[in-house]
Structure 1
Amino acid sequence: MRLLQLLFAVAGLTVSAPVFAGDASGLDPAAIDRCIGAGEGGNCADAGMQACREYAETKYTGDDPDFVEKNCLDASHQAWEAKLSETYQALLDKEAEAGIKPQEMLRQTEHAWIGFRDSLCDYRADAATAREASGELARLECQRDEAARHWALLNARLRDMPE
């Protein structure tokens, strides 16, 4: 997450800081890698979530009924943001090595994507709140899902680039 924040800060963008996850979240980012390695690709947004929930339920003793889910969604979102940041930088590097000059276009595209993601997730949070569901959970799930989806797009672009 910090690398992604640094990349976005250099580009003049902002990313909200994580709220719930930490080293004790119970989410194993390797579960995402195993899912991707098994060929699941775009269906891996939820990877590691069940184990995280089970772990967090044994550790959390507070009175927030949504804490476990918030914790795991935030941790999963952070893991996907880290993968996204890594892939984004690799794509920039590979384009530079290939002599491709539209790196500024890639940066602009990422900036536009962040705006799209934020608007979409705000909409989902507002819609959930209107249905008397947790807007915070809807936002966290949306952020995680959109990061995973965008990672898959950038990763496909990276894979398709000539060596």
Structure 2
Amino acid sequence: MIARLALIAALTAGPALAGDASGFDPAGIDQCLAAAPTQGARADCAGIGMDACLAYAKRKYTGDDADFPMANCLDASHQAWEAKLGSTYDALLATQGKKGIKPQEMLRQAERSWIQFREDLCHQMQDSAGETSGALAQARCIRDETARQVALLMSLGQLE
């Protein structure tokens, strides 16, 4: 149980290891987003790079935790998406700032609300999945919701 809690903490940590030796290539996110013509297609980029990461992790990991390669790759993917979310949000916030304080504050409040929504939704996913696969379900949910938010913010930026 303690190992599962440590895994959850690691999976929800901020973007510290993106581009590490996990086998996950964050450049794939930018390539997928650039090639995707719509918000929906951009949201489909959430799992980009996972196959290569899993193949790499399964070759490198020799332990007895069957979930470790997936947890490792979800962590690396999530961190890369968090970094992309931060840069996308900052760019949109700067654009909104040129319109005045009210649009900028509205964006900040919307992002705070979204963060709470993501945490609540993904915690529910963890609870629904049960103890065995709950941490992975939560990590996948957080990564996928972060990718969806990046797609949404990119679309808002294109409306400018």
TM-score normalised to structure 1 length: 0.82
The answer (yes or no) to whether the contact 2:16–2:79 under 8 Å persists in 1 is no
TM-superposition CA deviations, 1:117-144 (whole Å, max 9, x none):
0000000000000xx6410000000000
Shift >2 Å, 4+ stretches:
18-22, 97-102
Amino acid at match of 1:51: A
Offset, 1:102: 2.2
Offset, 1:97: 2.3
Cα distance in 1 for residues equivalent to 2:105 and 2:14: 27
Amino acid at match of 1:151: V
For structure 2, the residue ranges without an aligned partner over 5 or more in a row are: 1-11
1:17 corresponds to which of 7, 13, 18: 13
Offset, 1:101: 2.9
Q: Which has the higher contact order (CA 8 A, sep 6+)?
A: 2
Partner residue in 2 for 1:37: 34
Partner residue in 2 for 1:89: 90
Cα distance in 2 for residues equivalent to 1:29 and 1:113: 23
Cα distance in 2 for residues equivalent to 1:101 and 1:52: 42
Cα distance in 2 for residues equivalent to 1:142 and 1:159: 26
How many residue pairs get aligned? The number is 144
Offset, 1:107: 1.0
Matches for 1:9-158 after TM superposition, within 5 Å: 16-17=12-13, 23-39=20-36, 40-99=41-100, 101-129=102-130, 133-158=132-157
Cα distance in 2 for residues equivalent to 1:48 and 1:109: 29
Once structures 1 and 2 are overlaid, which stretch shifts more, 76-85 or 34-43?
Answer: 34-43
Offset, 1:71: 0.6
What's the % identity of the aligned pairs? 56
The alignment partner of 1:45 has SS state of helix
- CA pair 20-66 structure 1, distance change in 2 beyond 3 A: farther
Cα distance in 1 for residues equivalent to 2:82 and 2:31: 17
Q: Report the structure, 1 or 2, having the larger helix content.
A: 2
For structure 1, the residue ranges without an aligned partner over 5 or more in a row are: 1-15
Cα distance in 2 for residues equivalent to 1:147 and 1:19: 12
TM-superposition CA deviations, 1:10-63 (whole Å, max 9, x none):
xxxxxx425995611110011111212222412100000000001111111111
The answer (yes or no) to whether the contact 1:21–1:71 under 8 Å persists in 2 is no
The alignment partner of 1:64 has SS state of coil
